Amino acid sequence: MFKKREFEVLKGLLAAGLATMAASSGAVGLLTNSGFENNSVVVPNGGYVTVGAGSSAITGWTVGGVSVDLIQGNYNAISNISVDLAGTPGPGSVSQSFNATAGYTYTLDWDIANNGGSANSLVVTLGEKTLTYSPSNPSYHASFSWMAPLTKSYLVTFASTDSNNSGAVIDNAVLTAVPEVGTMAMSLAGLGVLCFVARRRRG
Give domain limits for the chain. 4-23+183-202, 29-178
Largest Cα–Cα separation, the chain: 75
pLDDT of residue 46: 97
Strands, sheet with 105-114, edge to edge from the N-terminal-most edge strand: 48-52, 67-72, 81-84, 168-178, 105-114, 140-147
**pLDDT tens-place string over residues 5-62:** 554 544 454 444 444 444 444 346 999 999 999 999 999 999 999 999 999 999 999 9
Q: Write down the mean pLDDT value for the chain.
A: 82
Q: Give 133-163 pLDDT, tens digit per residue.
A: 999 989 999 999 999 999 999 999 999 988 7
For the chain, percent of residues with pLDDT exceeding 90: 65
Residues 6+ apart with CB under 8 A from 198: 2, 6, 7, 10, 11
CATH topology of domain 29-178: Jelly Rolls (2.60.120)
